[in-house]
Amino acid sequence: MWRPPLKTTLTALLVAACVGAAQAQSLPGGFVYLREIDPGILQDIRYATANNFIGRPLAGYNAGECVVKREVGLRLKALQAELAAQNLSLKMFDCYRPARASLDMVKWSQNGHETAAERRYNPKIPKTELFRLGYIASHSQHSTGAALDLTLVDLKADNSGKYDPSKSYADCTAPVEARAPEGSVDMGTGYDCTDPKGHTAAPAVTPEQRAWRKRLVAAMARQGFVNYAKEWWHFSLPGAGGAPYDFPIQPRRN
């Protein structure tokens, strides 16, 4: 039987080993897929879809996966166990954000036009003002892996409503029945609502909506997370971040 030269065999084995190592390569800088820590936490990573204020997937979002620093993921897991006893769940809207996605937002804000779908998210504020007013950052904490956008889901409720791109929804400040469904508790506005009503302590929400916001803030605080006052959905974990990253979010390998 013919046998390949030893050098050829060794070269083939080295190539195979390199390919295998590349496939098994972990995320950089202590990052993890949240599903690998707690697959029960719900995810609706909106920037990997067209269901967001830009109306298309953002640069670097090649998969709808929540990627976080490991410490952040472990704290979310502990919180999820606490919430499960109350028939509640976390739902992640955004986690690690590639730096290129923030630059994508900057370009969007400067493109000179606004569509009706975009105005659903910022009904009163021109998009050119969103950075100056602190609603969007050109250098986001999300890019460090220590910031999160999320909400609560009542597991006993009917959460079957799905976003339909063919429908004309009311803006993000409208009653929950009129705005785009998110399959979560009613926090008084939709996610990414750049409006004073989206501020965590906004007086314009109902007592029940305010109670849900306070419940979310308190639950996150028990794990060390701090809320951003202009966004009821945004939290960060002090000290868990570091330098920003720009690696794209890829599909998780099973």
Tokens of 89: 């769940």
Q: What is the pLDDT of residues 87-97, one digit of tens each?
A: 999 999 999 99
pLDDT of residue 8: 42
Residue 202's pLDDT band, with cuts at 50, 70 and 90, is: very high
92 backbone dihedrals φ, ψ, rounded to 5°: -90, 130
Distance separating alpha carbons of residues 93 and 48, to the nearest angstrom: 10
Task: Indicate the helix (H) or strand (E) that contains 94.
Answer: strand 88-94
For the chain, the maximum distance between any two Cα atoms, rounded to a whole number of angstroms, is 83
Q: What is the pLDDT of residues 172-196, one digit of tens each?
A: 999 999 999 999 999 999 999 999 9
Contact 144, 242 (CB under 8 A): yes
Q: What is the 8-class DSSP label of residue 32?
A: E
Read off the pTM.
0.88
Q: What is the mean pLDDT of the chain?
A: 90
Q: Which class is 30-236 in CATH?
A: alpha beta
Q: Give the HSE-up count for residue 58: Cα atoms under 13 Å, Cβ half-sphere.
A: 25
Distance separating alpha carbons of residues 121 and 136, to the nearest angstrom: 12
**pLDDT higher at 250 or 11:** 250
1 alpha-carbon distance from chain centroid: 58
